[in-house]
Amino acid sequence: MRSACELPGSRVYIFSLWATIVVLSGLAASAGAAFLGGASPQVVAAVSAVAAGALLTMVVNTMVPEAVEGEQKLAGLLVVIGLLVAFALSNVGET
């Protein structure tokens, strides 16, 4: 039988999960910096595009079902508009 600290939802369990995520993310970032530190801009752009796609997939999988539940017809359009606004804001002043 599991102790109370190992049950999903307990503070220790949740803290342990987040601590593991932090450590693994730090190791992945260190490895990326070590292996891709001198990479060409094209390689960095490709890696960034894959990372952005992974983040977008995670956000869409988490948030879109909740959005579609409330507003089914406009959810997709609002996601596209949000992405276009974010893209435009990230490029303001770069010409």
DSSP assignment letter at 7:
S
CA-wise closest residue to 17 among 29, 31, 6? 6
The model's pLDDT over 7-51, given as tens digits with 9 standing for 90+, comes to: 667 888 889 999 999 999 999 999 988 988 888 988 888 888 888
- Residues written for the chain: 95
Q: Whole-model pTM? A: 0.52
Contact between 43 and 51 under an 8 Å Cβ cutoff? The reply is no
pLDDT digits (tens, 9 = 90+) for 46-94: 888 888 878 877 777 777 777 667 666 666 677 778 878 887 888 787 6
| DSSP state string for 27-80 | HHHHHHHHHHTT--HHHHHHHHHHHHHHHHHHHHHHHHHHHHHH-TTTHHHHHH
